[in-house]
Structure formats: C-alpha cells, structure tokens
Structure 1
C-alpha cells in the first residue's frame, strides 16, 4: 500500500507543507503569510482557521484528496516536558496547546491543525520529537543554584533525525549509538545522544554554551547582572537580548554567516575575530559535553544551515576531530523527520506514545 502523509510545519509568518509517499517527497511548499495579516490575530490559536484554509488550498492545487491520506503529522509545539518519540495527538495535548499552557509559539498550531483536518476525515494525527523533549537524568538538571534547574530545550527534531541518518549509514541503530550533535543555525544547540536518548543539551535559548548569530550563549554573570540593573531591564528584554540580540548580531550587526565570510575575504579583520570567536566557543562546548558520554563517542555530527560553511566546518574539525570522527549533514531535515516519525509507526517499527499527565522519563540517577 502506498501511504501518503501530509506534513504541517507552521512558522511565525509561514506554513511549510509537504506530501510524502514511499519515503519520497511528492511536493513541498513554503507558504509565506503577510505580517499585517498575522498581526490581526490576538493569539496564535486564533490563526487556526486562516492557516487551515491555506492547507486545504494547497491540497486542492496539488489535486490531493484528504481522504487519500494515510495520516497527518504536525510540528510539535510547547507542551509539558516529554520523552522523545512519535505521539498520537489527543484531547489533552490540544487543550494544552489551545490554552498556551506552556508558552506561545507558532509551532503550537502544528498539532492543532493536523488534529482538526484529521478528525474531519477519520485519519490518525501525530507530532514527532517536539522542542520540549526531556530525557535528562537528575545530574543533568542541576544548575548550581537551588530553585533553578537546567532545561532540555534545543533543535530536538533535527538532532535526532540526523543522528539516526548518520548511524544507520554506518551500520548502527540510533538506540545503539553514542553521538554529539551540533545544530548550527541562528541559534546553536549541542546534544549528547546516548543509545536512543538525548541525555544532555547545551541550551542556547536559556543562555548556555557558545554565542551564535543571534544568541549570547554563556555570559559573565556578575557583569550581566549589573547591566540588567543599570539598564532597568524587564525579563522580556533580558530574554530578547539573550536570544535575538546577542552573538554576531551584537558584535557585527549581521547574522548571515555568508555575508560575514565575504566581508572577511574582503579583508575585514573585525568580522574574522568574532566569527573565529564563535567557532572557538562552539568547539569548546563540544569538548565540554564529551565527558557526558565518557569519551565513548561514535561521531560528532554537524548540522543546520551554517554547516554549509566550509570555513566553519574546517575550523571546528581542527579543534575537535581528536575527540571523534566528524560527519556533516548540512541544513535541516524537519519535514523529512516528521514524516519518518510517522512512517516508523505505520511500519510498526515504533509504537506511538500517548500524551498524558506525566510523560517525563523516570529519573536515572542511582
């Protein structure tokens, strides 16, 4: 049987859509939405009907009937912390997303849209490896200050997808391998994957690890605390500075590494200093996460948009290839990863998980 799967991946001002069949993408399209239209909606869930019309129009334009689909998968949004896997969308999940119980983000619409279209056509609907995947043990959560815990937040969907891809090509399953995955984009996240679980994450969204094109990474705490007090910053302003106004944006007023590299080639030593600084900090963070796997590392995997840069990849290799062999999977595989998560369920290689009151993995510290 040829299974067609609709993939829905909402962004802040776009909706990425794709139809997959027999491990191949039949059609893929990114539909851009004007900001003035999106801004008319008070909340993200209010956008549901507008985005749904976009999806139905896409299907009609491609002459695809909804009842010809086998399943629908949406990008997972901000939910309670859960272990990785493919989740069947249920009422509890939709309730949390519609109420924005764990935060507001466009990705929350992924499950909401997939669920509504699926229910109208008696189809199963899923999400796969959302950003809130949490497979930490107790030691990984300790921050150094009572009352504050480290969070597992990063590019989980793409990290797990490229880890599976590389390991399978090398003759190992994801549940057998030990890899460090470095997602290099506007934000940078670095995960330690240990036999099917992402047991550690350098979380740039919360101000950990290296600086990136848009994020500060780790900062000298006393100096930053003084800046917050001196500038009378609100918590929202702090969050925007850490994840949005930091890193290369702060130093060079530029986030596009391709442009920065052209400036370096033209003799801009200032640009070279701060790009090399980012590479240095990325490499240092890779080294800092290696002990979590006790040095038993099959591969270091570089992925994300910036990993297209030969300059950056070559420099990271110089710093870190003594730790483990380095594999590069440029770009991101979110759409394919969403499909593959559903395909594993269809092929009965994986059982779908249920989103219930407590999906956080049992603590593993003894």
Structure 2
C-alpha cells in the first residue's frame, strides 16, 4: 500500500510543508510570513486561503502529483476535550478549530488546511498530538485550591515522538514502557508516560524556569506582585512567559552565549545555569512519584538538550535514581509524519472528534 503523506505545520511566522514517502522525507520547506504579508488579514482564520495557496504553489514547484498522496497530516490545534494521538478531521473538528478553540494560535489552521487538500482527493486528513491533549489520571487533576482543576499542557508532539523513538531503539513498544520525558526548549515541560498514556505533566509555567519563562515560584510572591500596583496583568504575564527565566536573570535566552560567559569565568552565569539544571532534575523527580511500577528511563529532549554542559549537570542529579538518556532536538514534521503512518497502518486508533459540551459557551 502506498504511503505518501503531505505534512502541514502552520506557525505564527511561517507555514512548514513536507512530503514523506513512508518514513523518508522527499522534501521539507518553511514558507516565511512577514508582518507585512499577514497585515491584510484581520483575523487568523482570514489567513486560511492565503496559506493554502502558498502550499499549493510550493507543491507545484516541487512537482508533487497530488493524486499520489495517501493522507494529509496537519499540526494539532488548541482543541478542548481531546486525548493524545490522531484524529480524523471532520466538520465538527473544523468548526471547533475555526470558532471555538481554547485560544487562538496558528496551529488551529493545521487541521483545516489538511482537509482543504484531502477532501478533493478523497483521502483522509488527520491531526496528531495536539498541545491540549489531556489524559491525566483523575487524581492528578485535583488541587488544594477549590475551583481550580489541573489540566495537561506540555510539548505532547515532541515528547511522544521521542518516547516512541526511544522505545523502538530498545526493541520495545511505546505502550509497554514507563518513561519521564523532559522537553527542554524556550519553555520546559515534563511529562509522565505510562503504557502509552501521559498520566501527569508539569507545564512550562509550573516547573523549571527556562530561557524565557519564569517557571514555578512561591504563589504568595506572585500574589503580592499582582496586587502591588507596579504591574498590569499583561506585564505580569510577560514576566511568566517571554521575559522570565534566563532572559530576566542574565539578559539573554541564548544558551550558547551563556556557556561562552561561563567559560570566560562568569560566576553569575554559572550559578544560574546550574540552578536551571537543578530545577529540571527536581521537575523530573516530581514525576517519578507518579508511577506504581519501575520506570524504564528519563529522556531529555528538545533544543536545549544539545547542550552537554546542561544535560551533564541534570544527569549528575538524577543518575542514581533512573536511567537518563539524551535525545536532543525537536523535529515536528517527522513526528507528524510518523504519527500519520501509525494511523494509516492501524498501529494506533484513529479518534473521532465529538464536542463533549456546548462549545458556544467557551469564551
């Protein structure tokens, strides 16, 4: 059976497109979008036809015969009430992506674009491992703050793709393993994977600080700042995401620059980098307590995992507790393609999106 997949990954400043023949990429390109390019479109949804046309032009340039495609896989959007894995794009899913997402994000166009290509060809369109995929255990949702319930919010796509890759390297299936995956990037999230399910997670605002996010801190300090009169809500949110972490502490979020400073004898940079490693290890340690069975490994992945200085410090904290492996990088296009292949081959179930509530009440 042919297995030729078109992969679509819309982002805020680009649309990435690739064609895979099985596991082999035939090409992968990123189409940039400047502020001027997007200025004519008042809303994100207004960009749909523009982005589809650009991808069609790219496919024509690459001489891709659309009739040879087997399926189209789009980046999963910010959807409510979904689990990890793949969903076939249907009208209900498109309606939710366009009109009732959890919040506006360019990835919401992924499934809609996929259907725009797939429907005329009579082939399936999928989304895979959306960020808001949530499979937390019921007991993991409870907080001590009445009225506040925990939800899962982590780098699902790369975390699960890396877990699959590690399982295959061991000659095992992902569903047969217990793993903790720490995605180390501009934001850091950590997830606990038990037999193919993410049973708990630490989001990028509830765990280690990162290059530009402040991570977890004493909530009393945050309450005091919120009511100090010094900052607006928007400014406080910037302190959490965008202007926190190493950006706030060292004036840069570039770890290569930080490592150069450390090598030049900057003791402050060395202390902050060691603190980040400690917080990553503590975040992993938190999730080690989620399992009733022995875990197989802790995986460090994402762009920051290329830093041997950082990963060696993390391993130094954790090596007596668990096997720690480093699988650096984040290849979203490959992750989407391999996920789509598992759906086509029947190795994973294809979920059907059906709203669990009246979506019109979602703000």
State the TM-score, normalized to the length of structure 1: 0.94
| Paired residues for 1:182-201 under 5 Å | 182-201=182-201
Mapped to 2, the partners of 1:232 and 1:251 lie a distance apart of 19
Mapped to 1, the partners of 2:147 and 2:233 lie a distance apart of 17
Deviation (angstroms), 1:268 = 1.5
Task: Provide, for residues 130-160 of structure 1, a one-character-per-residue CA deviation record: whole Å limited to 9, x for no partner.
Answer: 0011111221111220111112001001111
Q: In structure 1, what is the equivalent of residue 206 of structure 2?
A: 208
Mapped to 2, the partners of 1:216 and 1:108 lie a distance apart of 26
SS across alignment from 2:63: coil
When the two structures are aligned, how many residues end up with a matched partner? 357
Verify: 1:307 aligned to 2:305, yes or no.
Answer: yes
CA RMSD of aligned residues (A): 1.5
| Paired residues for 1:319-338 under 5 Å | 319-338=317-336
Mapped to 1, the partners of 2:245 and 2:292 lie a distance apart of 30
The answer on whether the counterparts of 1:191 and 1:198 sit within 8 Å (CA) in structure 2 is yes
| Paired residues for 1:28-39 under 5 Å | 28-39=28-39
Mapped to 2, the partners of 1:340 and 1:72 lie a distance apart of 12
Q: In structure 2, what is the equivalent of residue 255 of structure 1?
A: 253
Q: In structure 2, what is the equivalent of residue 362 of structure 1?
A: none
Mapped to 1, the partners of 2:11 and 2:66 lie a distance apart of 22
Q: In structure 1, what is the equivalent of residue 219 of structure 2?
A: 221
The answer on whether the counterparts of 2:300 and 2:328 sit within 8 Å (CA) in structure 1 is yes
Mapped to 1, the partners of 2:116 and 2:268 lie a distance apart of 51
- Cα distance 1:40–1:259, how it changes in 2: closer, same or farther (>3 A)? farther
Verify: 1:127 aligned to 2:96, yes or no.
Answer: no
Mapped to 2, the partners of 1:280 and 1:110 lie a distance apart of 36
Deviation (angstroms), 1:123 = 2.0
Mapped to 2, the partners of 1:319 and 1:81 lie a distance apart of 36
Task: Provide, for residues 83-105 of structure 1, a one-character-per-residue CA deviation record: whole Å limited to 9, x for no partner.
Answer: 11111001111101111432100
Q: In structure 1, what is the equivalent of residue 282 of structure 2?
A: 284
Deviation (angstroms), 1:30 = 1.3
Q: In structure 2, what is the equivalent of residue 26 of structure 1?
A: 26
The answer on whether the counterparts of 1:302 and 1:329 sit within 8 Å (CA) in structure 2 is yes
Task: Provide, for residues 212-267 of structure 1, a one-character-per-residue CA deviation record: whole Å limited to 9, x for no partner.
Answer: 11111111211211111113544443333212111011111211111111111112
The answer on whether the counterparts of 2:7 and 2:337 sit within 8 Å (CA) in structure 1 is yes
Q: In structure 2, what is the equivalent of residue 47 of structure 1?
A: 47
The answer on whether the counterparts of 1:140 and 1:150 sit within 8 Å (CA) in structure 2 is yes
Verify: 1:230 aligned to 2:196, yes or no.
Answer: no
Q: In structure 2, what is the equivalent of residue 269 of structure 1?
A: 267
| Paired residues for 1:99-118 under 5 Å | 99-118=99-118
Q: In structure 2, what is the equivalent of residue 62 of structure 1?
A: 62
Q: In structure 2, what is the equivalent of residue 341 of structure 1?
A: 339
The answer on whether the counterparts of 1:96 and 1:102 sit within 8 Å (CA) in structure 2 is no
The answer on whether the counterparts of 1:183 and 1:190 sit within 8 Å (CA) in structure 2 is yes
SS across alignment from 1:263: helix
Q: In structure 1, what is the equivalent of residue 164 of structure 2?
A: 164
Q: In structure 2, what is the equivalent of residue 72 of structure 1?
A: 72
Mark the runs of 5 or more structure 1 residues left unpaired by the alignment. 360-366
Mapped to 1, the partners of 2:56 and 2:88 lie a distance apart of 22
Q: In structure 2, what is the equivalent of residue 241 of structure 1?
A: 239
